[in-house]
Amino acid sequence: MAIQVLKPKFHVDECLEQIKECLEKGWTGMGFKTVEFEEEWKKYTGHKYAYYLNSNTVGLHLAVKILKMNNGWKDGDEIISTPITFVSSNHAIMYERLKPVFAEVDQYLCLDPEDVERKITDKTRAVMFVGYGGRVGQLEKIIQICKKHNLKLILDAAHMSGTKVNGVCPGTWDGVDVAVYSYQAVKNLATGDSGMICWNDEKSANLTRMLAWCGINKDTYARSNKGTYAWKYDVDYVGYKYNGNAIMAAIALTQLKYLDEENARRREIVRMYNEGFKNNPLIKIVPANYENECSYHLYELMVPDREALLDFMSKNDINCGVHYRDNTEYLVYDYAKGTCPKSHEISDHLITMPLHMWLTDEDVKKIIEKVNEFVQ
Ligand SMILES: *Cc1c(COP(=O)(O)O)cnc(C)c1O
């Protein structure tokens, strides 16, 4: 069988044990394991608030929506974002009728602080920072810029489950208003689909709870009439059905136990790759800062002829990938075409190497050998 580019490894028996508990208890929806997982995630990351959702995409939507509500942003206001990301980061901005303004990426494929500052206008309200491949990039500088210009900072932490800096989760840094994680099927902490939104303020965290569950507010009745009035609640907002469920949380709880161990293996594979490619003058390795604590969701190379290499690898039963195509090439973002020429150029040469728990050292050696055989 061909080597896949991304492939989750589930701890099947333990996952089934956790799921079985849900089924026997007759509790597969919101609550029970979802609350347990929120607590475990807070313990693991140090986030003060965490709310379990059915995806990162909906979490990013709520992040933008709540910031817009709380700060009186207007339709057409701008959020500076990256063109090298999965489209959800930018769709979340569009859902709320705000405008993604694209800035260039740096050597880590994260937002370049200098270009971000250049793209600020009097309509800029926030920055959407993607921790590309688990990298922290120049997040510290972006935080400084946001503080200086009074902008909010949303961290799309879809790739960052397990990334730390000196033992601290960057999503918890002062200046990050909200961090959103993904537990989608091929992410480092894989479930089927789910995600987590982590605010640093209680007001937004509470609002999230309501907006993610159809705008339902149980608080007033729950406080005064314990139990008896369970059916009686207020609906304060036209909210959404964005909450996560106990089955997914059951898988997440199991997978979380192995996250650090698995990320350590990812780093081991990355070291082998780096060693294997460092002497090839035609290959550029995408570096990570804080590489000893990076979650390495993705391992990227830049090569002269990406399409040809993809083809060659596939013929050798090795599936590589592309993360990501410059978003301004897509119809919905083509108003911004040409605004990030450097990122566009980078995107044309990016290729994603396989990186996951199923890879043996032999696989990694074979991949290195094949890439070096072709790129010369
Ligand atoms: C996967 C991903 C998302 C979306 O996550 P879902 O949980 O699938 O909604 C958002 N941003 C980035 C950078 C991603 O890789």
Q: What six digits make up the tokens of 365?
A: 């050696």
At residue 339, φ and ψ (nearest 5 deg) are -80, -15
Q: Which residues line ligand 1 (CB under 6 A)?
A: 55-57, 85-86, 88-89, 130, 156, 158-159, 182, 184, 195
Q: In the predicted model, what is the mean pLDDT of residues 295-309? A: 98
Is the per-residue pLDDT at 375 higher than 80? Answer: yes
Q: Please tell me the distance between residue 270's alpha carbon and the centre of ligand 1 in angstroms.
A: 22
Any idea which fold 259-374 has? Aspartate Aminotransferase, domain 1 (3.90.1150)
Residues 6+ apart with CB under 8 A from 43: none
What tokens were used for 51? 């709310």
State the closest ligand 1 atom to the C-alpha of 55, by its place in the atom list counted from 1. Answer: 7
Task: Give 301's strand partners.
Answer: 285, 351
Expressed in angstroms and rounded, the spacing between residue 189 Cα and the centre of ligand 1 is: 12
Question: Could you tell me the pLDDT band of residue 226, with boundaries at 50, 70 and 90?
Answer: low
Average the pLDDT over each of 222-231, 328-337, 341-350 and give the range with the smallest value.
222-231
Q: Could you give the percent of the chain with pLDDT greater than 70? A: 97
- 3-state SS, one letter per residue, for 89-150: HHHHHHHCCCEEEECCECCCCCECHHHHHHHCCCCEEEEEEECHHHCCCCHHHHHHHHHHHC
Dist. CA 224 → ligand 1 center (Å): 40
**For the residues 230-253, what does the mean pLDDT come to?**
94
Question: Judging by beta carbons within 10 Å of its beta carbon (0-12, 13-18, 19+), is residue 219 exposed, middle or buried?
Answer: middle
Lowest mean pLDDT among 27-31, 126-130, 218-222, 282-286: 218-222
Count of CB atoms within 10 A of residue 170's CB? 24
Atom of ligand 1 nearest to the CA of 159: 15
Tens-digit pLDDT profile for residues 25-50: 999 999 999 999 999 999 999 999 99
CA 124–ligand 1 middle distance (angstroms) = 24
Q: What CATH fold (topology level) applies to the domain 12-257?
A: Aspartate Aminotransferase; domain 2 (3.40.640)
Q: Looking at residue 231, what is its pLDDT?
A: 75
Adjacent-strand bridge partners of 197: 51, 180
Cα torsion 303, 304, 306, 309 to 10°: value is: -80
Mean pLDDT of the chain: 96
Amino acid at 2: A
Cis check for the bond before 183: say yes or no (omega within 30 of 0): no
Banded pLDDT at 233 (limits 50, 70, 90): confident
Read off the tokens for 42: 């807070």
pLDDT for the residue numbered 229: 65
